[in-house]
């Protein structure tokens, strides 16, 4: 990979980096994107049928079965070269803040210590803040041991707000950074899509790594087309060679 000399200088001078990551980086590990076809009984299921508070209220067993399936998929894969490169780079910088739209925990498994999870984490549970439908048989549903409250996956469903403080933490990191990466994300889902624009407004260079062009591509400081697993490791090596 030939790295533009201007980009090389930016990489070597960066000490505070934010990496916004999306489904593309996890797809390289084998995690299907949210809307990709599933196997078996989930082939024809629209995610919006199982990823809303209303769906959980109507049929919590079905929602839990869907997420048990996706948890299994996430557990069967491993962090890839892109996850590992970000973790390695973070150890040599003042700080590297990962801001991820993914819920699979692969950044943490790769060794990244500073991760903002905008959409939660599929491997965690939290109390369901609502009432189940009156005719739901709630026996044997997962429950919080201390109170008996029904649990749900700790992910952001359609129509829900992001975890408290998540976007504020991400914005604070962007405003303190001297370089931002946008990796494997469509740059269309808000509020995450606004983060690179915030960086550009503050004259913080933005490097986009994505297989396909996105709305960010025309304004990014650099757009590197291709897979994160192939492109991030040489970028990190270039940064370390300064």
Residue ranges of domains in the chain: 1-30+79-119+162-242, 32-76+122-155
DSSP-derived 3-state class of residue 225: strand
Class of domain 1-30+79-119+162-242: alpha beta
Answer yes or no: are the C-beta atoms of 191 and 32 closer than 8 Å: no
Taking only the tens of pLDDT, the chain with its 242 residues reads 778 899 999 999 999 999 999 999 999 999 877 655 455 545 567 777 889 999 999 999 999 999 998 899 899 999 999 999 999 999 999 999 999 999 999 999 999 999 999 999 999 999 999 999 998 988 889 999 999 999 999 999 999 999 999 999 999 999 999 999 999 999 999 999 999 999 999 999 999 999 999 999 999 999 999 999 999 999 999 998 86
Q: Which of 114, 125, 95, 118 is nearest to 190 (CA)?
A: 118
Residue 162: alpha-carbon gap to chain centroid: 12
Tokens describing residue 200: 């550009």
Fold of 32-76+122-155: SIR2/SIRT2 'Small Domain' (3.30.1600)
pTM score of the predicted model? 0.93
Q: Which residues are catalytic?
A: 119
Helix (H) or strand (E) holding 214: none
Check whether the bond before 142 is cis (ω within 30° of 0).
Answer: no
């Amino acid at each position: 990979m030939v790295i533009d000399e201007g980009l090389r200088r930016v990489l070597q001078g960066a000490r505070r980096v934010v990496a916004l990551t999306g489904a593309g980086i996890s797809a390289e590990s084998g995690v299907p994107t949210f809307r990709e076809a599933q196997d078996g009984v989930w082939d024809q299921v629209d995610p919006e049928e199982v990823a809303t508070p209303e769906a959980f209220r109507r049929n919590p067993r079905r929602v839990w079965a869907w997420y048990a399936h996706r948890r299994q998929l996430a557990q069967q894969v491993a962090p890839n070269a892109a996850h590992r490169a970000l973790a390695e780079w973070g150890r040599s910088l003042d700080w590297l803040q990962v801001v991820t739209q993914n819920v699979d925990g692969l950044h943490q498994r790769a060794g990244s210590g500073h991760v903002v999870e905008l959409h939660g984490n599929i491997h965690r549970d939290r109390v369901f803040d609502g009432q189940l439908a009156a005719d739901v048989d709630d026996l044997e549903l997962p429950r919080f041991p201390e109170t008996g409250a029904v649990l749900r996956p700790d992910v952001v469903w359609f129509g829900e707000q992001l975890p408290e403080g998540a976007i504020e933490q991400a914005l604070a990191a962007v405003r303190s950074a001297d370089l931002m990466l946008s990796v494997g994300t469509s740059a269309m889902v808000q509020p995450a899509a606004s983060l690179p624009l915030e960086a550009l407004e503050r004259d913080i260079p933005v490097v986009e790594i994505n297989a396909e062009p996105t709305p960010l591509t025309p304004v990014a400081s650099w757009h590197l087309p291709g897979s994160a697993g192939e492109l991030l490791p040489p970028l990190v090596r270039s940064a370390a060679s300064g």
